[in-house]
Chains A and B, each alone.
Chain A
Amino acid sequence: MPFLALANIKKSFGQTQVVHDFNMAIEKGEFISFLGPSGCGKTTILRMIAGFEQPSGGTIHIAGQDQTRLKPNQRNIGMVFQAYALFPNMTVFENVAFGLKVAGMPKAEIEKRVKEMLKLIHLEHLADRYPYQMSGGQQQRVALARALAPKPQVLLLDEPLSALDAKIRVSLREEIRQIQRQLGITTVFVTHDQEEALSISDRIVVMNAGRADQIGTPSDIYNRPTTRFVASFVGTLNIIEATIVDPAAGTVMIGDQTIALRESIADKTGGETISLALRPEAGSLSESAKGDTALTGKVVSANFLGSVVRTRIAVGKNTVSFDMFNSPDLIMPAPDEVVTLRFSAGDLLVIRD
């Protein structure tokens, strides 16, 4: 049995069902991210794991124990909130000590444990500060220490970084991941930022309208999306409409150009329209690029984005974006120029949903 098991979790608020038969098996020490757009039910599931909401159906097991009906203060869970939620009347030390005090730990031990936690987040020198005397990033680190101090079985984080500015967000997420590894604590991290999820997770659950669309490692999710939703939500994927020419040979027609797919489409029929996905970084304009497949089109626009140049070309009815790495000798494609995009047939994914 997995360490944290969610089985057939449902949740309705009044008439509207916001979580549909959600299943998830999380191993001990795993770092799982829930990724999805606003309102897809990420927070709701997290709050059910914490015990703030009762599921309308299904069960939640932690370490083999049924915890579905337990109150939050009967579970051994740590939680970090988006809005920090430090107690404004307590110092950093008192905030971190709160859970230990509630649990009735002797004073000397509390002191030792709090010091240990503050060391972990590199804030030993701020033990006597009040929350209002600290930056957002520091407050959130204290919130993390407070959640971890009582040695919870599971750590839940609900968009802990979204109130912070970009630089801190990146450094803090790495710090969170490093601490999580060090303690080996089973963690569920909620975010709507795909880069955040891809960079720190063991596995990602991509959620869409109260359902798990795909569960997999970051590279699975990014390179082999199984649904159109996952493909479009994670990264900026091109969706290309194509008409099947010969299912057995795997040939399709895009505009008036025929190409062969590597993935089998033998289950489809000729003349059927299918959707193909192509990552913007998969293509190249260079003649020498290795790639067995080519599409020719007219440049719609070319935009300089810093480290990359994003070019959009029209192929039949489709507009295909692709990125080239910036370099001083790069020649920007001009609008209306006719160019040939080369890529590997293996980069074209068939979307089946």
Chain B
Amino acid sequence: MKMTKFFAWFAIAVGVTYFFVPLAGTFEFSLRMRRGEYSLDAYGSVFSDVQFQQTFGFSMLMALLTIVFGMLLVVPTAYWVRLRLPQMRPFVEFVTLMPLVIPAIVIVFGYLRLYNSASYIPFTGSLLGTNILLVMSYITLSLPYMYRSVDTAMRTIDVRTLTEAAEILGAKWPTIMFRCIFPNVMSGVLSGAFITFAIVIGEFTMAALLNRPAFGPYLQLVGANKAYEPSALAIIAFAITWLSMGLIQLVSRFGKLTQSRP
């Protein structure tokens, strides 16, 4: 009994060390830009860099578009599968998991072959087209997380009966979708959105190969050319991810509180 408890604590200690020591080291290093004392100079330098502002802004915009269009795709799909095609659920789940299995580099090379400026659908021929393609690739990447969180939220409501209740009261499907279903899976939509945000902000492969000025490639650029700023950026990136995770916790707890009793 005592031994197992000891080993459990030991394992946790090892895990925490493994995870936190590099992080603490990075943080400490990021504070040492000014010789002989700790300062936030590296952070100041990062935040005042015009390129940081531009790339971060660009990635924020991409993340936002990804979330909006991704959810417009995922929520109705998850809804339809639950309502009309329950036997298709394992298949749809499998499809949404594909982006986890197929490396991003493979996907983006596929895109470049399919949509290059000499193809029938020359997305990469224009800036707008490339941006659209980037958003679509981000939707693909975040599909597993978005679908899962929305589907889980749908499990907590009786989608079928709510739909029928709305239908018999005269509602047509846009009303059913946006007034009866969407608001009730909001906790799932939000947690999916925060994960998507975290993924898109740090994504490198797609943005670099499609040659868009996103935050991921900027991180890489700074990492290759500066000393203290990359550490500061790493800490900032971690902070963003943690903030997203914290918000997920918050909305899922809130979602549980407001669930209707059966």
Interface size classification for chain A: 20 to 34
Interface residues of A in 59-88 (CB under 8 A from B): 71-73, 75, 77-79, 81, 83-88
What distance in Å separates the Cβ of A130 from its nearest Cβ neighbour in chain B?
Answer: 7
Q: Mark B173-186, 1 if CB is under 8 A from A, else 0.
A: 00100011001101
Q: Check if A85 sits within 8 Å of B158, measured CB to CB.
A: yes
CA separation between A163 and B262, bound complex, in Å? 9
CA separation between A79 and B186, bound complex, in Å? 27
Q: Mark B244-262, 1 if CB is under 8 A from A, else 0.
A: 0000000000000011111
Q: Check if A78 sits within 8 Å of B168, measured CB to CB.
A: yes
What distance in Å separates the Cβ of A113 from its nearest Cβ neighbour in chain B?
Answer: 13
* A-side contacts of B157, CB under 8 Å: 88
| Interface hit among A9-17, A97-105, A310-318 | A97-105
- Which of A130, A132, A150 touches B170 (beta carbons < 8 Å)? A150
- Which of B158, B161, B167, B260 touches A73 (beta carbons < 8 Å)? B167
- Which of B167, B169, B186 touches A146 (beta carbons < 8 Å)? B169
Question: When A87-B180, A89-B183, A131-B260 are in contact, do A72 and B161 touch as well, CB less than 8 Å?
Answer: no
CA separation between A132 and B184, bound complex, in Å? 13
Q: Check if B169 sits within 8 Å of A132, measured CB to CB.
A: no
* A-side contacts of B180, CB under 8 Å: 87, 89
Interface residues of B in 222-262 (CB under 8 A from A): 258-262
Interface residues of A in 34-61 (CB under 8 A from B): 50-52
Q: Check if B165 sits within 8 Å of A87, measured CB to CB.
A: yes
Q: Chain B interface secondary structure, helix, strand, loop or mixed?
A: helix
What distance in Å separates the Cβ of B251 from its nearest Cβ neighbour in chain A?
Answer: 14
CA separation between A83 and B164, bound complex, in Å? 12
Interface check B166, CB cutoff 8 A: yes
Interface check B171, CB cutoff 8 A: yes
* A-side contacts of B89, CB under 8 Å: none
Question: When A81-B164, A85-B164, A85-B165 are in contact, do A102 and B184 touch as well, CB less than 8 Å?
Answer: no
CA separation between A263 and B184, bound complex, in Å? 62
What distance in Å separates the Cβ of A50 from its nearest Cβ neighbour in chain B?
Answer: 6
* B-side contacts of A147, CB under 8 Å: 168-169
* A-side contacts of B262, CB under 8 Å: 83, 163
* A-side contacts of B170, CB under 8 Å: 73, 99, 102-103, 150
* B-side contacts of A89, CB under 8 Å: 180, 183-184, 186
CA separation between A163 and B167, bound complex, in Å? 23
CA separation between A102 and B165, bound complex, in Å? 13
CA separation between A130 and B171, bound complex, in Å? 21
What distance in Å separates the Cβ of B163 from its nearest Cβ neighbour in chain A?
Answer: 9
What distance in Å separates the Cβ of B99 from its nearest Cβ neighbour in chain A?
Answer: 31
* A-side contacts of B172, CB under 8 Å: 73
Interface check A136, CB cutoff 8 A: yes
* B-side contacts of A81, CB under 8 Å: 161, 164-165
* A-side contacts of B13, CB under 8 Å: none
CA separation between A75 and B164, bound complex, in Å? 13
Give 10 A-B contacts (CB < 8 Å), ordered by A residue.
A51-B168, A52-B167, A71-B167, A73-B167, A78-B168, A81-B164, A88-B184, A132-B260, A132-B261, A147-B169
| 7 interchain residue pairs of minimum CB distance | A99-B169, A88-B260, A89-B183, A85-B165, A85-B161, A72-B167, A131-B260
Given contact pairs A85-B158, A88-B260, enumerate 9 new A-B contacts (beta carbons under 8 Å).
Answer: A52-B167, A73-B167, A73-B168, A77-B168, A79-B165, A89-B183, A98-B171, A99-B169, A146-B169
